[in-house]
A = this chain, B = another copy of it.
Amino acid sequence: LVESWSFLDTAESDFRPLVVIELAKGTKGETIEWFTKRIVDKKANGGAQLLIKPLVTENGVENIYLVGASHLRLLLGAETVGLVKECSDNSMRTFTYSSRKTFKHFADDNHSFLTMAECQYIIKHELENLRAKDEKMIPGYPQAKLYPGKSIVRRLLTSGILVQIFPLHDREELKKLSHSWYGRVKVGYQPLDDIRCYFGETIALYFGFLEYFTFALIPMAVIGIPYYVFAWEDYDKYVMFATFNLLWSTVILEVWKRICAILTYRWGTLLMKRQFEEPRPGFHGVLGINPVTGREEPVYSSIKRQLRIYLVSLPFVCLCLYFSLYVMMIYFDLEQWALDYHKENESDFSSLMLYVPSIIYAVVIEIMNRIYRYAAEFLTSWENHRLESSYQNHLILKVLVFNFLNCFASLFYIAFVLFDMKLLRQSLATLLITSQILNQFAESLLPYWLQKRYNRRIKKRMCSKKTGVDLSLAEQVNMEKEMGTYLGTFDDYLELFLQFGYVSLFSCVYPLAAVFAVLNNITEIYSDALKMCRVYKRPFAEPTANIGVWQLAFETMSVISVVTNCILIGMSPEVDALFPDSKMDLVLTVALVEHLLLAIKFIMAFVIPDKPRDIQMKLAKLEFESLEALKQQVRAFQMQLHFLLIHH
């Protein structure tokens, strides 16, 4: 058996570096030797059977290694991770090596059948699944314990021996992508398929959502503009706008599910089977037997975790919420002070001063959000969740609740306690615009500028006048390893989520919010693209079939906005005037309308199918085929069995 895998080694000639491994400076020789041996070792010996080469720079070997794999190895890896590709008959199927000839664009010498991002994903998967056999610890580091089945790479990462693993940029491809993506000012769609090929599905889906969301906001923005231009303040026009807004937001969220299904079907991730989830790297506990897998692995009592969540995290979150409300009250004091100042000495300066408290408050909100984010991450990782998904859910819940309150509490207070629509409009505009400017600056432009300055310094040090494309491999690796790491789409979605809140929660008061959102999102596409291509290290591709918990978050926001908008409309003096005799009738009417709108929303969400008909048909066809295949298998097996029963 050992022999049967050896032919893979013969293909070593076409070494193409795909992934970079950076070890800590001063890593012991025996560790490096053991680790690289495990990486190149044959599958049958428990290795990953990949190719690895040290990076030789002018300063000699720097503990940086390049990992690649033979073409055949990658194809087998594609089968292991369950990649779904398009067949010659245009259907999507799970790739298997034995059926490789049926796939579109497959040829044994066509090395671009798998995209580079896919190759890198495969290598990452293989590296992470390199597991300890009988090692009790990492050679040379007795404190870094291992046990059978523990992922070696994860242990190396948590014990600091492995600094980072990251995929290499393909500077040729990147140049092409960035040109078609943001290189020229153009009207049209983003090259989503190219983005997906280069950055993977999670990031492509984020940009798809960003683009879709921007387009979906345009009708709202277009309808919102005349309200500003003609200073419409009639009740019936606002009601119309709000009603349109509420139904529209339901429709766009439902339609997104369909578009998402179309995209991910084309990309193959809609069909990809979920892999069994391994414990997350940071998870720790005493060694025990996992009741599900029967394997030896760290076990951490669920009661202890619950105690940490309810006795520490929950009180801490409540404290943060209280602090956020406290800061809000200070803002209102400031606001009052600015108003008094404006009344006393009326001037251009003092009327400008009216906006200052809101701007300061917006900045403080952003800062608090960011600080809280770190605290939430720390707390959630201290809660010691076993699975990455459970960690993510707890983190997202913590962050969403706080950000929602932090951003919108003052608006709720102004709207429903102070009843001051003018202040609400002003406050909403200031918060929205300030947070958008801050975000764009902090997220893309600042890192871009820092990165650029750093690159110049590096280049100067290397005394080379080359442009980015002509850099040698060593120079490229050295430059990329210093770039920031993209931490996932969380913050990008959060920003859109808060923006959606600004647009929809008080839409009947400030129809112009949608206009600002559209403008922001257009520049956001460019700045996020810039960030992905120029500022950060290339991230590993992550297959995904949907935007996950964010769908639920956006839907919840749209339900809350029905309530707020109905109350706002009910409170407006124009509506009040329609019911001169009885306030009671007014409130009952508003409540009735609200419940009707909510009912319509739920019915719409129920009636609009989540997947377009043709995707449904394709999925049904695949399911039918796999059931048929299973039936055939069972039948063949039964036949065989009976044959044996008779002849023996």
A interface with B by C-beta (< 8 Å): 1, 3-5, 7, 76, 79-80, 96-98, 275-276, 291-293, 563, 583-584, 587-588, 591, 595, 617, 620-621, 623-624, 627-628, 631, 634, 637-639, 641-643, 645-646
Structural contact, B4 and A617, CB atoms closer than 8 A: no
CB distance from A289 to the nearest CB of B (A): 12
- Pull 27 A–B residue pairs with CB atoms less than 8 Å apart, ordered by A: A1-B639, A1-B643, A5-B639, A5-B642, A7-B642, A7-B645, A7-B646, A76-B638, A80-B634, A96-B634, A97-B638, A97-B641, A98-B641, A276-B624, A276-B627, A291-B617, A291-B621, A292-B620, A292-B624, A293-B621, A293-B624, A563-B595, A583-B583, A583-B584, A587-B588, A587-B591, A591-B591
CB distance from A393 to the nearest CB of B (A): 11
Structural contact, A3 and B646, CB atoms closer than 8 A: yes
Q: Is the interface of A mostly helix, strand, loop or mixed?
A: helix
Question: Please, which residue of chain B has its CB at the minimum distance from the CB of A613?
Answer: B302
Q: Which residues on B sit within 8 Å (CB–CB) of A5?
A: 639, 642
Structural contact, B584 and A276, CB atoms closer than 8 A: no
Structural contact, A98 and B275, CB atoms closer than 8 A: no
A292 with B645: in contact, given A584-B587, A623-B276 (CB under 8 Å)?
Answer: no
The 5 closest A-B pairs by CB, nearest first: A587-B587, A4-B642, A292-B620, A4-B643, A292-B621
Q: Which residues on B sit within 8 Å (CB–CB) of A646?
A: 3-4, 7
Structural contact, B292 and A639, CB atoms closer than 8 A: no
Separation of A3 and B642 alpha carbons in the complex (Å)? 10
Q: Which residues on B sit within 8 Å (CB–CB) of A79?
A: 634, 638
CB distance from A325 to the nearest CB of B (A): 18
Question: Please, which residue of chain B has its CB at the minimum distance from the CB of A293?
Answer: B624
Q: Which residues on B sit within 8 Å (CB–CB) of A97?
A: 638, 641
Q: Which residues on B sit within 8 Å (CB–CB) of A631?
A: 80
CB distance from A377 to the nearest CB of B (A): 23
Q: Which residues on B sit within 8 Å (CB–CB) of A293?
A: 621, 624
Separation of A525 and B183 alpha carbons in the complex (Å)? 73
Q: Which residues on B sit within 8 Å (CB–CB) of A620?
A: 292
A98 with B637: in contact, given A587-B591, A620-B292 (CB under 8 Å)?
Answer: yes
- With A3-B646, A4-B643 given, can you name 6 additional A-B contacts, CB distance below 8 Å? A5-B642, A7-B646, A80-B631, A292-B617, A292-B621, A587-B587
User: Which of A3, A623, A638 has the most chain B CB within a 10 Å cutoff?
Assistant: A638
Separation of A1 and B628 alpha carbons in the complex (Å)? 20
Separation of A9 and B439 alpha carbons in the complex (Å)? 78
Separation of A1 and B638 alpha carbons in the complex (Å)? 11
CB distance from A256 to the nearest CB of B (A): 21
Separation of A76 and B634 alpha carbons in the complex (Å)? 10
Question: Please, which residue of chain B has its CB at the minimum distance from the CB of A630?
Answer: B273
Other-chain contact of A4, B4, B275, B276, B639 (Cβ < 8 Å): B639
CB distance from A203 to the nearest CB of B (A): 27
Q: Which residues on B sit within 8 Å (CB–CB) of A98?
A: 637, 641
CB distance from A244 to the nearest CB of B (A): 23
Q: Which residues on B sit within 8 Å (CB–CB) of A3?
A: 646
CB distance from A296 to the nearest CB of B (A): 15
Separation of A639 and B96 alpha carbons in the complex (Å)? 13
